[in-house]
Structure 1
Amino acid sequence: MDLTESAEDAAFRAEVRAWLEDNLAGEWGALRGLGGPGREHEAHDERHEWNRHLAAHGWTALGWPEEHGGRGLSLWQQVIFHEEYARADAPAGVNHLGETLLGPTLIAFGTPEQQQRFLPRIRAVDELWAQGYSEPGAGSDLAAVQTKARLDGGQWVIDGQKVWTSMAHVSDWCFVVARTETGSSRHHGLSFLLVPLRQNGEPAPGVEIRPIEQLTGGSEFNEVFFTGARTAADLVVGEPGRGWGVAMGLLGFERGVSTLGQTVGFTRELDGVVARARENGSIDDPLVRDRLAALKVELSAIRSFALRSLALVEGGQDSAAGGGAGSIFKLAWARWHRRLGEVAMDVAGAEGLLTRSASTPGDYDLDEHQRLFLFSRADTIYGGSDEIQLNILAERVLGLPREPKGA
């Protein structure tokens, strides 16, 4: 893997950097640093408008093929954009699930009609999407879903519950894995449906969304209840009953180039913890200094591994689902980020145990390191828990025997 930038790539980096510098000013400049995991409640509407501004200037759907409205940029140019975006402290996007997950899935598996209906709206950030995978009794075990759907004339009728549904309360649509064949089990008989959550600005009939309040003060996760909810019969991606392959294909897109922007954000967070350690003198503790140094080295290794893995996927030598690269990357960054939160609290000392009073009685405000600590506890659970990633590596990559059920 050659990480040397060509003259063309260097010019592209300069273009991205200059555009962000020019546009992240005035009203947009006030959005710097807002949003992201644990902070999705911050200026959501304003960040949505910023994302539409990006789309209007050609900065969305960067890796999509040009025939589907994208820019068809190379893997390295996509990496460059996400790194520069993170370095500029630009506000977190609101369209990740639509642009980086569903869009590529529709390009790979969708019908021409589905592509024409949804891709332009995703690229323009006119419709936002949520992911309907996890359920109360399934969690990361996607094959155990119990949500059911049946055909009734020209529509699917959906009954069931999804949970930990990120941003469902502000989304227009949800891609839902549901069981559509009576008596089927595990990965058989599942279908991948596109289901409206809102119609004309109002909740869709048969859909109830309940935000889950977090310790960090936000409510970006939700419970979603489908009770006779409906969607058109042609809004099934792939063949009915064979949605498992589509769902796995989508997961293959989940840990793409945008995750490399994470490592830039992690670097900024680590620098903030180091700055606090210098300010309060805890940097003089050899143990603290050693832990901070280890985090810095590990983050560099994680970035290098991510670049190598993406290059392998691009070259067809690995797959996110079968080759293990995506699982290793998820395990590495999630555990690293959780340790960073722990070190941040140790650096803060007694001050980290105190919260600031909020304007509303009974509420409280967290500083950046308290929020980092609390939300990073979830990093090893959402997006596929550590246990699931370890099972994937053991069973699919190393070929070890499957874990006995009930063990």
Structure 2
Amino acid sequence: MADFGATELDAFRAETRTWLEANYPSSLNEPMGEDDAPWGGRTASYSNPDVKLWLDRMGAKGWTAPTWPKQYGGGGLTKEQAKVLEQELRRIKARPALMSFGIWMLGPVLLEYASEEQKQRFLPPIVRGEIRWCQGYSEPGSGSDLASLQTRCEDKGDHYLINGQKVWTSYADHADWIFCLVRTDTTKKHEGISFILFDMTSPGVEPRPIKLISGSSPFCETFFTDVKVPKDQLVGKLNGGWDIAKRLLQYERQNISASGFGGTGGGFDLIDVAKEHVGVDDDGRLLDGDLRSRIAAHKMDAAAFMLTVRRAEMEAKANAGPSAATSIIKYAAAKMNQERTELMMEALGLQGLGWEGPGFSGDELGAPRAMLRAKANSIEGGTSEINLNVVAKRVLGLLDHQ
């Protein structure tokens, strides 16, 4: 009997391949700077205009969010079609069309918790990369114990009034809008939190970049002083934001794990770097046997990790969302990325000690910065300690000792 499902999928693959080959700009195969990362947003500018062209083309098809429903701007693809699209993008080594907290974190919870009007308003611009989002969660004194947050949101009749401070707000100084946790009831802890959206250009919003030891400033302190927010921008129920917050954290950990591992520590492969700087024997093996064995073990762990991530993604789609197992993956991803950047530094030897000036390539100068940046992997998106607690309680079913 003919397998019509397979035949239809083959046809979709052929159409997708043809479209990608005709629409993917060849200039994106050339190395580009950090400023050309496709974050989208109202004020985005790129040295290579093809970055925007690629975003526009993919966004118009909904393929920046291929499995989201078409009525909200998504691609409306099945899981099988989305996998084919992913494979075809990998085949041509396509750069991401869009890197977006809206795609990775906010959009999935809007699909689950937002009103129909909010979905129609916010989801299509996310797909097209028109709005760049940031996340207002952590506060001074309310990091690991996020539910102790104190940013106040008061009901003023026809609007809400927000006062408070957030910290470690990624790219707040570049973001157009923020999805934010606020306290709407001071008499309760978890049950007094709400989830709200508002424009970062609203009067009273002030982001201040924080310079890190790596020299970059991806995080900000963000201050809110008498910020007026329309009531229709509250997502879900009043005082029901903690459930949304937990769900979004699962998506955040899943995507940090899937996208944050393996891409730092310089722009070249760990094995190639080690062979070049340490040397090889007559059989082409790395001369340093101890370093060779540790790199081999790391590479095997990395391959197993990526297979596990893919399996978790498929399970999450089948179960209509991520599970607490994302905490396992987030913990492992942080540990492995820190290990990778440290191995890269060891392999570079003296060439890994540069910070600026002549005598070092751009990739070599990036290695120490990446190693220092990786130290935050075990803090951001939920500390490793918190994730281990989640695993103990929700995955292993262990109870706190009294």
After TM superposition, the score normalised by the length of structure 1 is: 0.82
Q: Distance in 1 between matches of 2:342 and 2:229?
A: 45
Q: CA deviation at 1:126?
A: 1.1
Match of 1:284 among 268, 283, 287: 287
The answer to whether structure 1 residue 144 and structure 2 residue 112 are counterparts is no
Alignment CA distance shift 1:304-1:119 (3 Å): same
> Partner letter of residue 320 of structure 1?
P
Q: Distance in 2 between matches of 1:63 and 1:259?
A: 20
CA contact (8 A) 2:249 2:381 kept: no
Gap runs ≥5 in structure 1: 199-203, 359-363
Structure 1 partner of 2:335: 335
Structure 1 partner of 2:212: 214
> Partner letter of residue 239 of structure 2?
G
What SS does the aligned partner of 1:211 have?
A: strand
CA contact (8 A) 1:320 1:327 kept: no
Q: What are the residue-to-residue correspondences of 1:107-126 with 2, within 5 Å?
A: 107-126=111-130
CA contact (8 A) 2:61 2:75 kept: no
Q: CA deviation at 1:109?
A: 0.8
The answer to whether structure 1 residue 184 and structure 2 residue 188 are counterparts is yes
The answer to whether structure 1 residue 104 and structure 2 residue 108 are counterparts is yes
Q: Distance in 1 between matches of 2:276 and 2:145?
A: 45
Q: What are the residue-to-residue correspondences of 1:305-324 with 2, within 5 Å?
A: 305-316=308-319, 320-321=322-323, 324=324
The answer to whether structure 1 residue 193 and structure 2 residue 196 are counterparts is yes
> Partner letter of residue 317 of structure 2?
E
Gap runs ≥5 in structure 2: 280-285
Alignment CA distance shift 1:127-1:270 (3 Å): closer
Alignment CA distance shift 1:120-1:332 (3 Å): same
Q: Distance in 2 between matches of 1:281 and 1:325?
A: 38
Q: CA deviation at 1:381?
A: 1.2
Q: Distance in 1 between matches of 2:343 and 2:93?
A: 23
Q: CA deviation at 1:87?
A: 7.0
Q: Deviations over 1:11-47 (max 9, x none)?
A: 7667359726852323x4456574799x99xx96225
Q: CA deviation at 1:226?
A: 0.5
What SS does the aligned partner of 1:234 have?
A: helix
Q: Distance in 1 between matches of 2:119 and 2:299?
A: 42
CA contact (8 A) 1:44 1:94 kept: no
The answer to whether structure 1 residue 19 and structure 2 residue 20 are counterparts is yes
Structure 1 partner of 2:344: 344
Q: CA deviation at 1:265?
A: 4.3
CA contact (8 A) 2:135 2:180 kept: yes
Pick which of 289-298 and 305-314 moved more.
305-314
Q: Distance in 2 between matches of 1:30 and 1:64?
A: 30
Alignment CA distance shift 1:274-1:7 (3 Å): farther
Q: Distance in 2 between matches of 1:115 and 1:347?
A: 49
CA contact (8 A) 2:261 2:336 kept: no
Structure 1 partner of 2:164: 160
Structure 2 partner of 1:254: 252
Q: Distance in 2 between matches of 1:153 and 1:274?
A: 62
Pick which of 292-301 and 248-257 moved more.
248-257
Alignment CA distance shift 1:258-1:193 (3 Å): same
Count matched residues.
381
Alignment CA distance shift 1:333-1:16 (3 Å): farther
Structure 2 partner of 1:296: 299
> Partner letter of residue 367 of structure 1?
L
Pick which of 250-259 and 278-287 moved more.
250-259
Q: Distance in 2 between matches of 1:101 and 1:235?
A: 17
Match of 1:130 among 134, 140, 146: 134
Q: CA deviation at 1:313?
A: 2.5
What SS does the aligned partner of 1:168 have?
A: coil
Q: CA deviation at 1:253?
A: 2.8
Q: CA deviation at 1:221?
A: 1.0
CA contact (8 A) 1:148 1:159 kept: yes
Q: CA deviation at 1:281?
A: 2.6
Structure 1 partner of 2:240: 242
Q: Deviations over 1:59-78 (max 9, x none)?
A: 21212122322112233544
Alignment CA distance shift 1:263-1:164 (3 Å): closer
Structure 1 partner of 2:56: 52
Structure 2 partner of 1:361: none
Q: CA deviation at 1:367?
A: 2.2
What SS does the aligned partner of 2:377 have?
A: coil
Alignment CA distance shift 1:141-1:356 (3 Å): same
Alignment CA distance shift 1:179-1:378 (3 Å): same
Alignment CA distance shift 1:224-1:248 (3 Å): same
After TM superposition, the score normalised by the length of structure 2 is: 0.83
Structure 2 partner of 1:175: 179
What SS does the aligned partner of 1:45 have?
A: coil
> Partner letter of residue 104 of structure 1?
P
Q: CA deviation at 1:382?
A: 0.8
Structure 2 partner of 1:71: 75
Alignment CA distance shift 1:402-1:188 (3 Å): farther
Alignment CA distance shift 1:373-1:164 (3 Å): same
CA contact (8 A) 2:63 2:74 kept: no
